[in-house]
Amino acid sequence: MSWLLVTGFGPFPGVPRNPTADLIEALARDRWPGVRFFVLPTHFALEDELRAAAGASDRVLMFGVSGRARQLRYERVSRPGGSVVPDQAGARSGGPWRSRRTAFDVTALAAAARGAGFPVVPSDDAGRYVCNASYGIALSANPQSLFVHVPPTTRYGALSGDGLVRHATWLIGALGGAQPQPGVRRGW
Q: For helices 130-141 and 47-55, give the axis angle rounded to 10 degrees.
A: 40
- Residue ranges per structural domain of the chain: 4-174
116 contacts: CB under 8 Å, gap ≥ 6:
170
- Average pLDDT in the 84-103 region? 75
- Average pLDDT in the 76-103 region? 76
Say if domain 4-174 classifies as CATH 3.40.630.20. yes
- Could you tell me whether strands 59-65 and 145-150 are parallel, antiparallel, or unpaired per DSSP bridges? parallel
Q: b or e along 103-125 (b: 16 or more beta carbons within 10 Å of the residue's beta carbon)?
A: ebebeebbeebeeeebbbbebee
pTM over 0.75: yes
Question: For residue 84, what pLDDT band results from cuts at 50, 70 and 90?
Answer: low
